[in-house]
Amino acid sequence: MKIVRKLPPSSEGSAGARVVPWKLLVVDDEPDVRRLTALNLRGFEFAGRPLELIEAGSATEAHERLKEHGDIALALIDVVMESDDAGLKLVEYIRKDLKNLMIRLVIRTGQPGVAPERFVIDNFDIDDYKDKTELTAQKLYTTVRTALKGYRDLQTIEWNRIGLSRILAVTPDLYNLHRDKLEDYFQGVLMQLIGICKLGHSGMISTIDGLVATVDGQDIRIRAGAGDFDDSPGADTRRNEIVELCSNVIVGRDMPARLRNGALVIPLQVGEEIFGFVYLETGEDISESDRELIQIMANQCAAALDNFRLHHSLEESYDEAIDMLGQVAEFKDSATGTHIRRIQEYTRRLAIALGCPADEAEVYAKASRLHDVGKVGIPDNILRKPGSLNDDEFEIIKRHTKIGDTVLKRSPSLAVARLVARSHHEKWNGTGYPDGLAGDAIPFVARLVAAVDVFDALVSKRPYKGPWQKDKATTEIRNGSGAHFDPRIAETFLAMIDRGEVDDLVIAATAAPADHPNLAGE
């Protein structure tokens, strides 16, 4: 299978490439000058694209035309119109107020004495200065062509700059791409490709359309689009059609006739595996060197997809490991499972309430599930004892923190869970176990779990007690603030309880089967 496929121009039934004209604004208060300009540029083409002339009889009218057309490539501007310097003020408006640095501006005056060439060039951001008497049909052609070439080249630089900035923004995380950053990465790649083709313009892409789509089994997802394939209303029909057609291409079939002339389909491929495709529509031939560069960009895009898949495969493996170890604890006592799941949700909500980002809170929540995994090493006759523990039994059950630490230290990916397993029975005042840590020396995630673990134990059923009322359990947390619990964490947690933000978990704890007494609140 060819990596880059291009629809032959002679293919029967093919749709013609979408050709969008260059927009030329002619600003002059003399109608004859505007008509002569249109006549002299009749049939003009540059890079396979015709001209669209937009006329304005004054600087004021030009303001309106500029608002209507944000993609004007070139403006031919008279100086003396409604005032002696109306054209120069228009130049300042375009550059300073509109901040449009892309449009090429050519001053064209019939009264050079009013606006001397050197003064205008030195003091105004223009690209050329012409006396109307010297601007013959041939020189007009040359001036317009040169200006459009400059505009096109500036577009290329701008698209590459924007695309490169998007790519560089995610480069530090290239080997840890998240879904939101992946979209930015692909949009950056697409902009780079448009820049390579030298046919785009700032804002909406009119002369080159493209999309980047990824394939996961039968699921095809558009990651980035421009022109006909952007997110604008009404673009869905064209996008869906191209996705179907390009899907046929990347599985090895012939290029469909309904793709436009000049269309490129570039599979995103690593080895024999295809992750998706890039689709581009261009109105002119792309050089062999540019094709090679496009392929390099596509290869980088495919490598990022491959990395993204591997990264999330590792994330899934981590989640599976958490679930597996959590189930080990549940097998020790099946009633523990509901307690573990509640602790996970308590921890996630509390971390977010304390200002942790959602992804960080999720890490803490998953780690909290393994807080009591070390109890797999505690004898059943102690773990399941229906009454209170004596001192010797309590010393044995305290070992579950170190056992959990030993179990989890074998995997670096479980480092956070290891902190929880070892330190969730430490107390703020230093009287906890196993290490007697105090204050901020206790890992933050362990301080989170310490508070929610005790609260859930209090509001849960036990063989020797019913569930505490929420108010009574809240008082216990308040009394432990600054002694057992981190005061800031306790205060935030109490506020959540008062606002009813954990009522669903309290109700679930009350309705759950009775946990064994020595699993959580010893």
Has residue 259 got a pLDDT over 80?
A: no
> Annotated catalytic sites, by residue?
375
Lowest mean pLDDT among 110-119, 292-301, 477-486: 292-301
> What is the Cβ-side half-sphere exposure of residue 106, based on CA atoms within 13 angstroms?
26
Range 309-327 average pLDDT: 67
Has residue 261 got a pLDDT over 90?
A: no
- CB atoms near residue 131 (< 10 Å): 13
All residues at 6 or more sequence positions from 441 whose CB lies less than 8 Å from its CB, including other chains:
none
Distances (CA, A) of 494 to 5, 141, 350, 480, 504: 63, 77, 10, 12, 15
Q: What is the 3-state secondary structure (H, E, C) of 78-100?
A: CCCCCCCCHHHHHHHHHHHHCCC
pLDDT tens, residue by residue, 81-114: 999 999 999 999 999 999 999 999 999 888 877 7
Q: Which helix (H) or strand (E) holds 495?
A: helix 487-498
The closest alpha carbon to 452, from 471, 430, 428, 424, belongs to: 424
Choice between 387 and 123, residue whose per-residue pLDDT is larger: 123
Scan for tokens 């979408």, then name that residue: 18
Q: Which helix (H) or strand (E) holds 407?
A: helix 400-408
Choice between 446 and 333, residue whose per-residue pLDDT is larger: 446
Q: Supply the Cα-derived Rg of the chain in whole angstroms.
A: 35
Confidence at 345, pLDDT banded by 50, 70, 90 = very high
pLDDT tens, residue by residue, 384-438: 777 778 889 889 989 999 999 998 888 787 889 999 999 999 999 999 999 999 9
Domains of the chain (ranges, CATH numbers): 20-135 (3.40.50.2300), 159-311 (3.30.450), 333-511 (1.10.3210.10)
Q: What is the pLDDT of residue 218?
A: 46
Task: State the Cα angle at 387 between 386 and 388, rounded to 5°.
Answer: 140
**What is the value of pTM for the model shown?**
0.48
Integer Cα distance of 103 and 72 in angstroms: 6
Query: What percentage of the chain exceeds 70 in pLDDT?
Result: 63
Q: What is the pLDDT of residue 6?
A: 40
Scan for tokens 């459009």, then name that residue: 148
pLDDT tens, residue by residue, 148-205: 999 988 877 776 666 556 555 545 554 454 555 566 666 666 666 666 555 443 222 2
Has residue 282 got a pLDDT over 60?
A: yes
pLDDT tens, residue by residue, 266-279: 777 666 666 667 77
Range 121-148 average pLDDT: 89
CA 502 from centroid of its chain's CA atoms: 31
Lowest mean pLDDT among 138-152, 244-258, 416-430, 449-463: 244-258
Range 476-485 average pLDDT: 96
Task: State the Cα angle at 372 between 369 and 375, rounded to 5°.
Answer: 140
Lowest mean pLDDT among 19-33, 477-491, 499-513: 499-513
Q: What is the pLDDT of residue 411?
A: 78
Has residue 129 got a pLDDT over 50?
A: yes
pLDDT tens, residue by residue, 45-84: 998 789 999 999 999 999 999 999 988 999 999 999 999 9
